[in-house]
Structure 1
Amino acid sequence: MSVSPHHPGAAAPHQPDNHNLYAGPPPWDIGRPQPTFQALADAGAVHGRVLDVGCGTGEHALMAARLGLDATGIDLAPRALELAAKKAEERGLTARFLRHDARLLADLGETFDVLLASLVLHGFRGQDREAFVKSLHAAVRPGGRCFLLCFRDEPLPTSGSTHRVAPQEVRTAFADGWRIDTIDAATIDSALPVRPEGIRGWRAALTRI
């Protein structure tokens, strides 16, 4: 059984709640974990207390819950959290879903062993990206791991530069307080019919120091 409370003061006042993103299935909601994150779980890299940052409808938190782990997902979209809680109930899994800003994870007052952030980093620029990285650092215990999945720095079917991330951007953003273990090529599965073979991306593995 899952719970989906609204965390007090979770959303920043100027942040939209992104509710309309889930009026219909968005292209990143594939109904299962991203294969590159599932591979981490299969290899035992997902363990302990797990936080799915920007969880959407909860597939990565539920992946952790399926392993019997203490799983939490946070997002700002109420509809996504409702769908995540429904999935957990239907699958007989226990996970916690909170409405919370990814830039304010310190406000949770908790630390986790593993953070998973799928297709979140590209949504932040400038000071917001700095706040997001500091927020991740505050939420993971020393020696804990953070795994990021990003679109590669090349044109996408939807166009626009917002969704492109170069490896050097990851290295620059996480230069302080982190050890960058790997930045590997990865395939991002999508519901977009124009890319049934998936979209090229990067998976970064980081350790908090």
Structure 2
Amino acid sequence: MAGQPWDASYQDGPPAWDFGGPQPAVVQAASRFTGPVLDAGCGTGENALHVASLGLPVLGIDVAETALALAREKAAARGLKAEFAYADALHLDRLGRSFQTVLDCGLFHTFDADERQEYVASLAAVTQPGATLYILCFRDAGPTSGPHPLTQAALEAPFTTAWSVITVTPTEIRANLPHTTTAPAWLATIRRTT
């Protein structure tokens, strides 16, 4: 059932968070990515396709089948080698794979506090010490904040064990929101330690 509401978001045109390109903050961070890369909650694949264009192996996962179909079409049309698969981010162990870099653009802030703890445990199942997680999520910064904005403390809270928060930097997320085309965001760099 978890995938159905997300899938519906893609059936009547692009959702607010899909503006037809990779997030500028992700493009900037991607120069530090090493492969293989997991794009958790990849949507229609723009960020994963940018990673693929850099020559890195990338797997984009989502629970929205419509978004995954669009991502595969884009990859074929652009001649890019990227994998897209249906998977639940709270059960990444089912992938049976390991990643050096994990990108989370707009997924983390959709979880409540308990789910964020579960998600971090799920991430541990597909990473080894030294792996790096990049999270781009909405920041609590007043009336222009996107939906489900987080404080820096809420972003960092689930990463007290087996992870080290390296940086949390204020930035923006591009989106087609009713009141703005950009919203305040955090870009966090978090390293797996044990």
Instruction: Specify the TM-score bucket, using the shorter chain as the normaliser.
Output: over 0.9
Percent identity of paired positions between Structure 1 and Structure 2 = 38
Give the aligned partner of residue 47 of structure 1: 34
CA RMSD across the alignment? 1.6
Q: Going by fraction, where is strand more abundant, 1 or 2?
A: 2
Listed as ranges, the matches of 1:38-77 within 5 Å are: 38-41=27-30, 44-77=31-64
Q: 2:183 aligns with which of 183, 193, 199?
A: 199
Q: Which residue number in structure 2 is paired with residue 6 of structure 1?
A: none
Q: 1:98 aligns with which of 79, 82, 85?
A: 85
Pairing of 1:84-95 with structure 2 (within 5 A): 84-95=71-82
* In structure 1, C-alpha distance between the alignment counterparts of 2:118 and 2:88, rounded to whole Å: 11
Q: TM-score, normalised by structure 1?
A: 0.86
What CA deviation, in whole Å up to 9, does each residue of 1:72-117 have, x standing for no partner? Answer: 0000000000000000001000111000000011111111010000
Per the normalisation by structure 2, the TM-score is: 0.93
Query: Given residue 8 of structure 2, which amino acid in structure 1 is its aligned partner?
Result: N
CA–CA distance in structure 2, aligned partners of residues 150 and 78 of structure 1: 22
Q: Does 1:19 align with 2:7?
A: yes
CA distance in 2, matches of 1:201, 1:153: 8
Matched, 1:34 2:18: no
- Figure out how many residues of one structure are paired with residues of the other and give that number: 191
**Gap regions ≥5 residues in structure 2:** none
Q: What do the CA deviations read for 1:131-166 (whole angstroms, capped 9, x no partner)?
A: 11111122122101000011111345587xx51111
Alignment of 1:58-207 (within 5 A): 58-156=45-143, 163-192=148-177, 194-196=179-181, 198-207=182-191
Question: Which stretches in structure 1 are left out of the alignment for 5+ residues?
Answer: 1-13
